[in-house]
Amino acid sequence: MWQFAVIVMLVNSFLGVSGNANGTILSLFDSHKVVSDVIPVAPREMLNVTYSNATVNLGDELTPTQVTNEPTLTWNAAVGQYYTLIFTDADAPSRNTPEDRQMLHWLVGNIPGSNVSAGDIIAEYIGPGPGEGSGLHRYVLLVYQQPSKLTFDELRMNNTSPAGRPRFSTNQFAYKYNLSDPVAGNFFQAQYDSSVPLLYKQLGILINSTDNGSTNNGTSTTAAPSTNNATSNTAAPSTINGTSTTAAPTTTNATSTTVAPSTINATSTTAAPATTNATSSTAAPLAINETSSMTAPTATPVKPNKGSILESSITMLLVLGLFYVK
């Protein structure tokens, strides 16, 4: 009789541990918002994920260096069943701005039992590559049971290119192939470390760097010389919006004149060069919007001389006097 009691206690103990484990999975998937951000329902069981020098444990933080290579996975697989494995980054390029959510890191279908290496590799494994300064990323591994062996029409992705990996949807993929809720899952968190640039190089991703080698969002710039709205003082005669006739330094929105007197809104009566609106000239007579003339003879009225008038009057009086005497 006591043997039966022991068996009942062992069964209850197992059920209690299993219930607690499931409760922990549900709680942590929910508290880290993996549920809602990645999947609508938490997995039923724990997916055991073991790297060469690290073990994944429901949200613990690992380094990209620790998870560079493909891990070993085990779960409670049913005999004769096929499974799909999906591994994504929920926070690409960052948790605050997840514009590329989800980034696909590993996708394998038609896995017989839990033998991942015998499955159909759709996307080869690549390790986490969180950008510098982007904070912690959540990396989620999920296993789905398939209704049967499937034919996947997705393009195959190797581990030397990021093509096809950004903005992957776990839910859409599961819906497309009629996969039920995930049967097993796990996740960890990671942030940038020194191994990430090596991954970028492997994938052919250029790094946004300045002279000090900083990186940002996987793009690249170089310290090439560039000018913007600036003036270069060289001995080449060139101008912008102006005119220059000498080998003067480059000027912007300006003009150059060379030893030439200029007049504005005036009349020039000599053959001297004249410039208007800051146009450059060199010893060449030029008039713009002005009048240039040489002195020309002009007809003027002749004024009478006082002396000649007096002489004429006296003469007339003498003539009149002689005429009267006669």
Backbone phi, psi, residue 61, to 5°: -90, 130
User: What's the CA gap between 63 and 127, in Å, rounded?
Assistant: 10
Task: Count other Cβ atoms within 10 Å, centred on residue 183.
Answer: 20
- Tell me, what's the pLDDT at 310? 54
Q: Is the peptide bond before 93 cis (omega within 30 degrees of 0)?
A: yes
User: Tell me, what's the pLDDT at 321?
Assistant: 54
**Second-level CATH architecture of 41-192:** Alpha-Beta Complex (3.90)
Strand, coil or helix: 88: strand
pLDDT of residue 207: 73
pLDDT more than 70, % of the chain: 57
Point out the residues of the chain with pLDDT beneath 50: 1-2, 4-6, 8-19, 209-304, 306, 322-323, 325-326
Burial class (CB in 10 A: 0-12, 13-18, 19+), 302: exposed
pLDDT tens digits, residue range 75-84? 999 999 999 9
Tell me the residue type at 177.
Y
Is the distance from CB of 146 to CB of 110 less than 8 angstroms? yes
Q: Are 185 and 141 in contact (CB under 8 A)?
A: yes
- For 125, the enclosing helix (H) or strand (E) is none
For the chain, domain boundaries:
41-192
Q: Is the overall model pTM greater than 0.75, yes or no?
A: no
C-alpha radius of gyration, the chain, whole number = 48
For residues 203 and 105, give the distance between their C-alpha atoms in angstroms, rounded to a whole number: 12
What is the enclosing helix (H) or strand (E) of 174? helix 170-176
So what's the pLDDT on residue 22? 76
